[in-house]
Structure 1
Amino acid sequence: MPDTGFPPPHGFVEICEAGTRDGLQIEATIIPTAEKIALVDAMLDSGIRHVEVTSFVSPRAVPQMADAEEVLRGIRKRPDTNLMALVPNLRGAERAVTTPVDGGVLLISASETHNRKNLNRSIDESLAAFPAVAARLRDGGKEVLGAVAVAFGCPFEGEVSLDGIIRIGRAYAALGVTQMTLGDTTGMAAPNNVRRTLRGLRAALPGMQFTMHLHNTRGVGLANVLVSLDEGVRRFDAAAGGLGGCPFAAGATGNICTEDLVYLLDESGWTTGVDLDQSIAVAKRMEALLGRTLPGQVMRAGPRLRLHAANAVPTAAG
């Protein structure tokens, strides 16, 4: 960590890399399985320990995730590696338990319309299906986590009900789930509703730990990170280069950038265990693989104290 002159680090913040799942799921070009495996291996080399690798969803709905089993079997796992996958239904759980994945993430939306668009079922139907999915994952030795999409606003319905999210959180808690991801699926989170939502959920669900899954659709993703840190959150999803978006949500754009998040946390006195230069290299690898410019900023500028030769730029004349 650079010497910033700030007090000693405030503590450890876990970064969960979602680039090969939420990042690639919206891409029309199918990325070869070997390239996905190489990307995850490079993420782990950078110091990332939690990776949401893929989704066990219908290949017809999300063709990019059709090779979920092959990708998970090809990754060079380490003792401290935690590989996760989205498991939205019982069929997905049946597939997941045949792989080296460490845990499955159950998913539901905070709005009825998005749940039907994303999962093709009602909220009540999703909740009713969760016990069987969780039981199958646990029978297969897998951890069970929960996630709530559009937790800070729905592109179809607008504001979402805090009571509705609490209801979902209580359903997760009843299944023994202790880690719940709050998804800002289309970047509708802003500091005020992040603070309000987290405080309301903490009061109603005191035993639950929260992961923030933030998108930078409206340019305030990292501002929302700072508010979340103030509210006690210590785990954040991010995607290399700022890639990502939900194919079933209007206006969806990329996640907060992994390397931008590492930079912010490092420079603010937090510990992540992630090497910034290697994180930048992963983002550039992702960019080269996709053949287009990604929105990450730190991957362009580099660390704050990366210096340049004076003759690298012209001298002002006159």
Structure 2
Amino acid sequence: MPAEEPFETEINEYFNMHQRIEIVEVGPRDGLQNEKEIVSTFDKVELIRRAIDYGARRIEVASFVNPRRVPQMANAEEVVSALGEVPGVTRIGLVLNEMGAERALASGVDQLGAVAVASDSFGIRNQGQDSSDSVDVARRIVSMAREARKTAQVTIAVAFGCPFTGDVDPDHVIAMVGALAQAGPVEIALADTIGVAVPTQVAQLVTSVRKAIEPLPVRIHCHDTRNTGIANIWAAVEAGARTVDVSLGGLGGCPFAPGAAGNVATEDALYMLHRSGLATGLELDAAIRASVWLEQVMGKQLPSKLARAGNFFMQEIS
């Protein structure tokens, strides 16, 4: 029987040691951005505080984008100001260009989240940049954060498929991450923005990206549009992704991607990870309670399965 490859050995040791998967709570930004009914600053801040209460330590608190295109994020500065600094918590502000980065830095967020796009068609519609331009802009945003003594990370949108042109060439994504890594972000994320990926595809791309940029960490951002989100998260973790984006209640979607509904619910992902013996530092039962509260704020049932079914009798792993 052939010896295990070093990568396989490392993954096996990782699972055997029950190390921690880092969670990024994106509900206050990606969860809310596609909602037509404007959520008040008070409720947005309360959502963030409840996320902190259930253990989230990296949170997308807002996006600093054109308020005419994303009205839900028009009060980004007010949210950051009302929340204030929170010791031990990284407040992430998503930005698409230098103007947004300047706004976010002036607001006092702890980390910038830049976005590069793997599809020219989607990039032009979403942020007025083709794929190559979006990489250049993301690199400049990372430099702006570093000059301001802040950190930055980069997400590659539509890394697995574009709603306008179909499949995305993995080699193009690999070339993008190579260029982005040189700018010095704290991590690079792969986003299944429209929820078309399947686990084998996710595992292959995460593995390739991980090898291309190590020791820089890989983050995964999955949408559950076609009911593959939770499986894709697991495939990504098995392939070496160490950070996972989730949204309380499964709320979310992209305003510029037709049919791109639904992030993976925070509580659903926690249940899978904790039952599998992986720690996250988050409390599942507290997340379920927060999800029930969020349903009341939104005035509708959210996609979360755990909010309906509840937890299962087990020793909680956080």
TM-score normalised to structure 2 length: 0.90
The structure with more radius of gyration: 1
**1:158 aligns to 2:152 (yes or no):** no
Mapped to 2, the partners of 1:268 and 1:130 lie a distance apart of 35
Mapped to 1, the partners of 2:83 and 2:89 lie a distance apart of 10
Aligned to 2:310: 302
293-302 vs 119-128, which deviates more?
Answer: 119-128
Aligned to 1:39: 47
Q: Larger relative contact order (C-alpha < 8 A, sep ≥ 6)? A: 1
**1:55 aligns to 2:63 (yes or no):** yes
Contact 1:211-1:237 within 8 A present in 2 as well: yes
TM-superposed deviation, 1:224: 1.2
1:236-260 per-residue CA deviation (whole Å, 9 max, x = no partner) reads 0000110001010011011000001
- For the residue of structure 1 that corresponds to 2:219, the secondary structure is strand
Mapped to 2, the partners of 1:203 and 1:46 lie a distance apart of 33
Aligned to 1:132: 140
Which residues of structure 1 form unaligned runs of 5+?
Answer: 1-6, 307-318
Aligned to 1:209: 217
Fraction of identical pairs, as percent: 39
What's the RMSD between the two structures over aligned residues?
Answer: 1.6
- For the residue of structure 1 that corresponds to 2:312, the secondary structure is coil
**1:112 aligns to 2:120 (yes or no):** yes
Contact 1:131-1:175 within 8 A present in 2 as well: yes
Task: Within 5 Å, give how 1:62-211 maps onto structure 2.
Answer: 62-75=70-83, 77-211=85-219
Aligned to 1:309: none
- For the residue of structure 2 that corresponds to 1:217, the secondary structure is coil
127-136 vs 65-74, which deviates more?
Answer: 127-136
Which residues of structure 2 form unaligned runs of 5+?
Answer: 1-14
**Letter paired with 1:167:** A
Aligned to 1:245: 253
Residues 128 and 268 (structure 1), Cα distance of their counterparts in 2 relative to 1, 3 Å cut: closer
Contact 1:96-1:137 within 8 A present in 2 as well: no
TM-superposed deviation, 1:204: 2.5
TM-score normalised to structure 1 length: 0.90
Mapped to 2, the partners of 1:51 and 1:131 lie a distance apart of 22
Partner of residue 275 from structure 1, selected from 279, 283, 286: 283
TM-superposed deviation, 1:30: 0.7
Contact 2:161-2:168 within 8 A present in 1 as well: yes
1:109-158 per-residue CA deviation (whole Å, 9 max, x = no partner) reads 11111111111122222233334323322222221111101111111111
Contact 1:9-1:271 within 8 A present in 2 as well: no
**Letter paired with 2:117:** S
1:171-228 per-residue CA deviation (whole Å, 9 max, x = no partner) reads 2112112401111101111011111111222232233311100111111211112211
211-220 vs 171-180, which deviates more?
Answer: 171-180
- For the residue of structure 2 that corresponds to 1:83, the secondary structure is strand
182-191 vs 133-142, which deviates more?
Answer: 133-142
- For the residue of structure 2 that corresponds to 1:212, the secondary structure is strand
Residues 198 and 284 (structure 1), Cα distance of their counterparts in 2 relative to 1, 3 Å cut: same
**1:254 aligns to 2:262 (yes or no):** yes
TM-superposed deviation, 1:68: 0.8
**1:18 aligns to 2:38 (yes or no):** no
Contact 2:138-2:154 within 8 A present in 1 as well: no
**Letter paired with 2:244:** F
Contact 2:119-2:158 within 8 A present in 1 as well: yes
**Letter paired with 1:161:** D
Aligned to 2:9: none
**Letter paired with 2:49:** D
Mapped to 1, the partners of 2:281 and 2:134 lie a distance apart of 36
**Letter paired with 2:202:** V
Partner of residue 232 from structure 1, selected from 228, 235, 240: 240
Contact 2:207-2:240 within 8 A present in 1 as well: no
Which runs of at least 4 in structure 1 moved beyond 4 Å after TM superposition?
none
Mapped to 2, the partners of 1:9 and 1:45 lie a distance apart of 26
